[in-house]
Amino acid sequence: MALIVQKYGGTSMGSPERIRNVARRVAKFRDAGHQVVVVVSAMSGETNRLIALAKEIQAHPDPRELDVVISTGEQVTIGLLCMALKDAGVDAKSYTGGQARILTDNTFNKARILNIESDNLRRDLDSGKVVVVAGFQGVDAAGNFTTLGRGGSDTTGVALAAALSADECQIYTDVDGVYTTDPRIVSEARKLDVITFEEMLEMASQGSKVLQIRSVEFAGKYKVKLRVLSSFQDEGEGTLITVEEGKQMEEPIISGIAFNRDEAKLTVQGVPDRPGIAYQILGPVADANIDVDMIIQNVGHDGTTDFSFTVNRSEFEKTKAVLESVRQHIGAREIVGDNKVCKVSAVGVGMRSHPGVASQMFRVLAEEGINIRMISTSEIKIAVVLDEKYLELAVRVLHRAFGLDQG
Interface contacts to ligand ASP, rule CB under 6 A: 9-10, 41-42, 47, 73, 135-136, 150-154
H or E segment and range at residue 4: strand 3-8
Residue closer to Mg ion, measured from CB, 210 or 257 = 210
Please give the residue whose beta carbon sits closest to Mg ion in the complex: 151
**Least distance between Mg ion and beta carbon 232 (Å):** 15
15 or 58: whose CB is closer to Mg ion? 15
Q: Is 369 exposed, middle or buried (0-12, 13-18, 19+ CB in 10 A)?
A: exposed
- CB nearer to ligand ASP: give 150 or 190: 150
In whole angstroms, the minimum distance from the beta carbon of 152 to Mg ion comes to 8
Contact 282, 295 (CB under 8 A): yes
CB-CB contact of 361 with 394 (8 Å): no
Strands in 328-402 per DSSP E = 334-347, 372-378, 381-387
Q: Which residues lie across from 146 on neighbouring strands?
A: 138
270 binds, among ligand ASP, Mg ion, none (CB under 5 to 8 A by kind): none
- Nearer Cβ to Mg ion, position 9 or 73? 9
Q: Which of 162, 279, 274, 288 is nearest to 226 (CA)?
A: 162
Helices (H), 61-165: 63-70, 72-87, 119-126, 153-163
Are the C-beta atoms of 350 and 253 separated by less than 8 Å?
A: yes
Give the one entry of Mg ion, ligand ASP, none that residue 135 binds, where binding means its C-beta sits below a cut-off of 5 to 8 angstroms depending on kind.
ligand ASP
Evaluate whether 112 touches 104 at the Cβ level (below 8 Å).
yes
Question: Number of residues in contact with Mg ion, rule: CB under 5 A?
Answer: 2
State the amino acid at position 356 in one-letter form: G
How far apart are the C-alpha atoms of 229 and 235, rounded to whole Å? 9
DSSP state of 179: B
Please tell me the distance from the alpha carbon of residue 99 to that of residue 345, in angstroms, as a whole number.
Answer: 40
Is residue 151 involved in binding Mg ion (CB under 5 A)?
yes
- Stretch near Mg ion under the rule CB under 5 A, chosen from 71-79, 148-156, 261-269, 306-314: 148-156
The nearest distance, CB 216 to Mg ion, in angstroms, is 12
Minimum distance of ligand ASP from residue 150's CB (angstroms):
4
Site string for Mg ion, 106-145 (x = CB under 5 A): ----------------------------------------
Q: Of Mg ion, ligand ASP, none, which one does residue 150 interact with (CB within 5 to 8 Å by kind)? A: ligand ASP
Residue among 10 and 270 whose Cβ is closer to Mg ion = 10
Judged by CB, which is closer to ligand ASP: 10, or 350?
Answer: 10
CB of 324 to ligand ASP, least distance (A): 31
Residue 292 near residue 311, CB atoms below 8 Å: yes
Q: Could you tell which of Mg ion, ligand ASP, none binds residue 98, using a CB distance below 5 to 8 A set by kind?
A: none
Closer residue to ligand ASP (CB): 153 or 305: 153
Strands ordered across the beta sheet of 239-242? 92-95, 130-134, 35-40, 3-8, 168-173, 226-230, 239-242, 194-196
DSSP per residue over 268-304, as a string? EEEEE--TTHHHHHHHHHHHTTPPEEEEEEPPPBTTE
Partner interacting with residue 77 (select from ligand ASP, Mg ion, none; CB below 5-8 Å by kind): none
- Per DSSP bridges, beta strands 130-134 and 145-147 are unpaired
* Of the candidate residues 5, 8, 9, 256, the single one contacting Mg ion (CB under 5 A): 9
The residue (of 9 and 220) whose beta carbon lies closer to ligand ASP is: 9
Quick check: 202 and 241 in contact, CB under 8 A? no
Q: Which does 205 bind (CB under 5 to 8 A by kind): ligand ASP, Mg ion, none?
A: none
Q: How far is the CB of 285 from ligand ASP (least distance, A)?
A: 24
**Three-class DSSP category at 73:** helix
State the Cα–Cα distance between residues 22 and 44, nearest whole angstrom: 14
> Per rule CB under 5 A, is residue 348 in the interface with Mg ion?
no
User: Of 218 and 402, which CB lies nearer to ligand ASP in the complex structure?
Assistant: 218
Binding site for Mg ion (CB under 5 A): 9, 151
